[in-house]
Amino acid sequence: MQRAPSRPLLAGVLNVTPDSFSDGGRFLDREAAIEHGLALAAAGADWIDVGGESTRPGAERVPAAVQRERVLPVIEGLRARLELPISIDTTLAAVAGPALDAGATVVNDVSAGREDPELVELVAARGAGLVLMHMRGTPADMQRDPRYDDVLGEVRAFLGERLAACRAAGVAAERLWVDPGIGFGKTLEHNLALLRGLAQLADLGAPLFVGVSRKSFLEAVRRAEGLGPGADAERLGGTLAALLFCARAGVAVLRVHDVARAAEALAVQRALEGARDTAQNRPPR
């Protein structure tokens, strides 16, 4: 596998939700959320990814008004104190537009612009960035027996189609990222196949944005290998191994919860490989 020419960006996860799978409810309070975002930045995050709706398996939908109530004060508070790029994790233009007004510069859409066509038009008109993710079904039903004939080929074709549609709608090519959607309507073997095939996804011509942090497939690997229960609920060992694998595969952006430990692991990897400490593919500010 070819080594990435420079280190990936770290997108620190800031869930302003009561029910996210790993930190739901911890940062519902505005000040707690802002402080956590500042801590992520201090730990080495290159941007902050803010979301007001959980996309964990089985999650229920959150109305746009509730999402706005959760995320806008946090984005405004972070923008007043940070120069880092901020992304809004939403599928709705009614949330993305106000979030961009509040200081976000990227929209992270797990539906890849399919749920709300107005979102793509909004991103194009505002000159914002857009992350396009593959998901089979919806968060409510995506893990109910997901099936593919060729998961890598199907995900690659989907992302290619969505890239073409967004470019045709006027989204600047340099402001698009693609995400294979690890854990979103995939089994363990599907997830592993996608990670092993990252180079083929990179051939689409857009930088890769990947989230493996704390995902349940890491625990599934433990069970498949006959290991005992994980040492911690954060699945740190598996997360770091997967992050380093993605970095070597050339992934541009890694969405992570534990920024400090991810940054340390990547720094040691770069030192061992003699790579320069430079980031790549920065999102628009």
CB 134 within 8 A of CB 158: yes
The first and second tokens of residue 125, run together, are 């008109």
215 is catalytic: yes
User: What whole-number distance in Å separates Cα of residue 145 and Cα of residue 285?
Assistant: 40
CB 50 within 8 A of CB 132: no
What letter represents residue 255's amino acid?
R
Catalytic residue among 68, 156, 214, 255: 255
Q: Alpha helices of 44-187 — where are they, by DSSP H?
A: 64-81, 93-102, 117-126, 151-168
Dihedral through CA 60, CA 62, CA 63, CA 67, nearest 10? Answer: -170
User: What whole-number distance in Å separates Cα of residue 108 and Cα of residue 34?
Assistant: 19
186 is catalytic: no
Q: Using alpha carbons, select from 92, 89, 201, 108 the residue that is nearest to residue 155.
A: 201
Beta bridge partners, 14, equal: 50
The first and second tokens of residue 172, run together, are 């600047």
User: What whole-number distance in Å separates Cα of residue 266 and Cα of residue 244?
Assistant: 7
Q: CA torsion sign, 32 to 86 to 2 to 264?
A: negative
C-alpha R_g of the chain:
18
CA 122 to chain CA centroid, Å, is 20
Catalytic residue among 70, 215, 235, 270: 215
Active-site residue list? 215, 255
